[in-house]
Amino acid sequence: MNILNRIVIGIFLCFIGGISFMHIFTKDIRFSEGENRVLSTMPKFTVQSLVSGKFTKDFEIYLSDQFVKKEFWTGLKASAEKTTLKQENNGVYFGKDGYLLERFESPGEQLMKNIISISTFTKATNEASSYLMVVPTSIEMYPEKLPLFAQTDSQYAAIEEIKENLTGSIKWIDAYKSLKRLKNEDIYFRTDHHWTTRGAYGVYKNIAEEMDFEPYEIDDFTIETVSTNFYGTYYSKANDHSIKADTIELFKPKFTVSYHVEIEDSESTMNSLYNLDYLNKRDQYSLFLDGNHSKVKIVSSMKNGRKLLIVKDSYAHAMVPFLANHFEEIHMIDLRYYHSSLNEYVKNNDITNTLFLYNIVTFSEDTNLIWLRQ
């Protein structure tokens, strides 16, 4: 064995030994701000779990989650791959002008199941007028920002399939055309899968037209920048530390209105549509309505008898601050966590309008819309 090989082996052993030594004296992290999820903890050892293979599987997950300085190493990996002209990491493309864009794959049979679930719900519910809005993500609006030869399927085709197969009395609200017209504005975050407040405002007038209320003009709001250091879900997946942070804007009414927000699963209340404490956390988008919850009820000072049920994913969170100015009550339901009968909910709460609001990726994949068939 020559001297060069010995040096390489020595460096390798020092690296492995150093990482192992650091792991022993490093406290486990319970929650990852970067990945916005709870991390695995050391699995409990039993002879049965070892024989079944469960212990080794759980231990492998634990080591992956708790790897020392994981964010640094994954970022270094992404930078190295970008240097070698790799176009994506974890399904997220390194786009032009600092955009990160997530690849979209044509929906499978789950899309049709979800269409049937919504159609079944609207046929059974006559108490409220029902509407559906499915929003494209940034990759559909900015194909010109994709790397050369990057592969992605058409979200427009999937959205058209939804429109063509809807049955019952549900009304379609088109988000695609309005966003297409506004694509030169900051309607999507560059590092996150959500639309911005400006993007939501661009489609708010479509909802107003279909639901027959007078929308407020942009000059009726004070636009306030509350963050210039937001890094979203695409950033966490791509781990490209060269990407610049996003800006978060809030549209605050110049007119007089008040809100009372009740969050069921945390048994908490707010007198604002925003929880600004999240600006000190990684998941800054959760400042909108305190993030994801099973049920949120918003009571406004608009005493007009109109009550809106929104069945949604988190795309609704940037839209609700506009809609809350036109309804006496808004009830937000997330079917990932709420599994009671929505037909009964509509009847018991005197709902006048129901809006289904999802982005196309979630709507194509979410298996929880089956709860609408109760």
347 confidence band (pLDDT: 50, 70, 90) = very high
Boundary of a domain, candidates 54, 72, 98: 98
Residue 83's pLDDT is: 59
Residue 29's pLDDT is: 59
85 confidence band (pLDDT: 50, 70, 90) = low
Q: What's the average model confidence in pLDDT over 61-84?
A: 57
What is the residue whose two structure tokens read 């937001």?
230
- Rounded to 5 degrees, φ, ψ at 287 are -60, -25
Give the span between the Cα atoms of 309 and 128, in whole angstroms.
9
What is the residue whose two structure tokens read 């709001």?
221
Each residue of 12-49: b (16+ CB within 10 Å) or e? eeeeeeeeeeeeeeeeeeeebeebbeebbeebeeeeeb
Say which residues have a Cβ less than 8 Å from residue 74's Cβ, sequence separation at least 6: 239
Residues 174 and 90 in one domain: no
Residues 12 and 132 in one domain: no
Q: How many CB atoms lie within 10 A of CB 292?
A: 17
Q: What's the average model confidence in pLDDT over 58-75?
A: 59
5 confidence band (pLDDT: 50, 70, 90) = low
Residues 130 and 32 in one domain: no
Angle between helices 109-124 and 155-165 (to 10 degrees): 40
Boundary of a domain, candidates 65, 98, 131: 98
The answer to whether residue 294 scores a pLDDT higher than 60 is yes
Residues 154 and 89 in one domain: no
Residues 191 and 310 in one domain: yes
The answer to whether residue 191 scores a pLDDT higher than 70 is yes
- Rounded to 5 degrees, φ, ψ at 203 are -105, -15
Residue 14's pLDDT is: 56
Above pLDDT 90, what percent of the chain?
A: 70
Look up residue 275 and give its amino acid: N
Boundary of a domain, candidates 98, 125, 141: 98
- DSSP per-residue string spanning 343-355: HHHHHHTT--EEE
Q: What's the average model confidence in pLDDT over 74-90?
A: 64
Residues 144 and 66 in one domain: no
Q: What's the average model confidence in pLDDT over 309-333?
A: 98
Residues 204 and 338 in one domain: yes
Q: Is 332 left (phi over 0), alpha (psi -120 to 50) or beta?
A: beta
Average pLDDT, the chain: 87
Q: pLDDT digit string (tens) for 196-255?
A: 999 999 999 999 999 999 999 999 999 999 999 999 999 998 988 889 999 999 999 999
Q: pLDDT digit string (tens) for 86-139?
A: 788 889 999 999 999 999 999 999 999 999 999 999 988 877 899 999 999 999
For β-strands 246-253 and 221-230, DSSP reports them as antiparallel
Range of the domain at 87: 3-98
Residue 142's pLDDT is: 98
Residue 9's pLDDT is: 60
Look up residue 230 and give its amino acid: F
Tokens for 27, please give them.
Answer: 């406290």
Residues 126 and 195 in one domain: yes
The answer to whether residue 168 scores a pLDDT higher than 90 is no
